[in-house]
């Protein structure tokens, strides 16, 4: 899908919100991959690449929606709690704010880097306050590919967060990430299966520490 002028369309934000109310898993071969700690992860195979799209649903207890959204957006703070970040910053390019992100990969694999647009909107949907963050890879001449680092050109993520009715957050996340290179698809999929629950645990812990530092 092409990005709307200036970024993402209102329809894209609404689609992410709708998944919180009614997960869109019908009409396609979405498979339940794993359920752990209140988190369910579904995947859909792309026959061409052998890779999967993922949808994640669940609740993060003791982490309010606003706090979770703020922590997710805080790139400087992420450098402190995400051990895989090598470089992460925002830059103005062609009148838009893009994110540059280099991710550490274990030897002997090359690091990956991303250039992507990211936008957040805080929406009121029939009295429900929902925070939505959308991200999608892009290309700008100011951020050229680096020697020894593989540029990820197919990356897309949606995140929607609302209150679980208690002290926590109800969360929906969609993502597609094709790291390229010579990594076997089974290894990429294995990393996704294990990495997502660990990421959610890490960000929940980061929320608690964020409260302490503020």
Tens digits of residue pLDDT in 55-112: 999 999 889 999 999 999 999 999 999 999 999 999 999 888 999 999 998 888 899 9
Strands (E), 61-165: 85-93, 96-103, 111-125, 128-137, 149-152, 154-163
**Residues 174-209 pLDDT 10s:** 998 888 777 777 777 777 777 777 888 889 889 988
Residue 4's pLDDT is 43
Tell me the C-alpha distance between 200 and 190, whole Å.
Answer: 16
Tell me the C-alpha distance between 178 and 156, whole Å.
Answer: 9
Which bin fits 196, alpha (ψ -120 to 50), beta or left (φ > 0)?
A: alpha
Residue 2's pLDDT is 42
> What length does the chain have?
214
Q: Which domains does the chain have, with CATH numbers?
A: 26-211 (3.30.530.20)
Tell me the C-alpha distance between 120 and 159, whole Å.
Answer: 9
Residue 49's pLDDT is 75
Average pLDDT taken over every residue of the chain: 88
């Amino acid at each position: 899908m092409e990005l709307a002028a200036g970024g993402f369309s209102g329809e894209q934000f609404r689609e992410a919100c709708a998944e919180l109310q009614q997960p869109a898993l019908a009409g396609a071969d979405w498979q339940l991959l794993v359920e752990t700690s209140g988190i369910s992860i579904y995947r859909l195979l792309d026959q061409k690449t052998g890779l999967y799209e993922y949808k994640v649903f669940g609740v993060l207890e003791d982490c309010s929606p606003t706090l979770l959204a703020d922590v997710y957006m805080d790139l400087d703070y992420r450098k402190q709690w995400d051990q895989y970040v090598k470089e992460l910053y925002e830059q103005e390019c062609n009148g838009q704010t893009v994110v540059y992100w280099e991710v550490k990969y274990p030897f002997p694999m090359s690091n990956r880097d991303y250039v992507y647009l990211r936008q957040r909107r805080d929406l009121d949907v029939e009295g429900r306050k929902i925070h939505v963050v959308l991200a999608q890879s892009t290309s700008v001449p100011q951020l050229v590919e680096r020697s020894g680092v593989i540029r990820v050109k197919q990356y897309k993520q949606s995140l929607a967060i609302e209150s679980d009715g208690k002290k926590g957050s109800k969360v929906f996340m969609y993502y597609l990430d094709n790291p390229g290179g010579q990594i076997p698809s089974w290894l990429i999929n294995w990393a996704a299966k294990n990495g997502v629950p660990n990421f959610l645990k890490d960000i929940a812990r980061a929320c608690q520490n964020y409260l302490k530092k503020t």
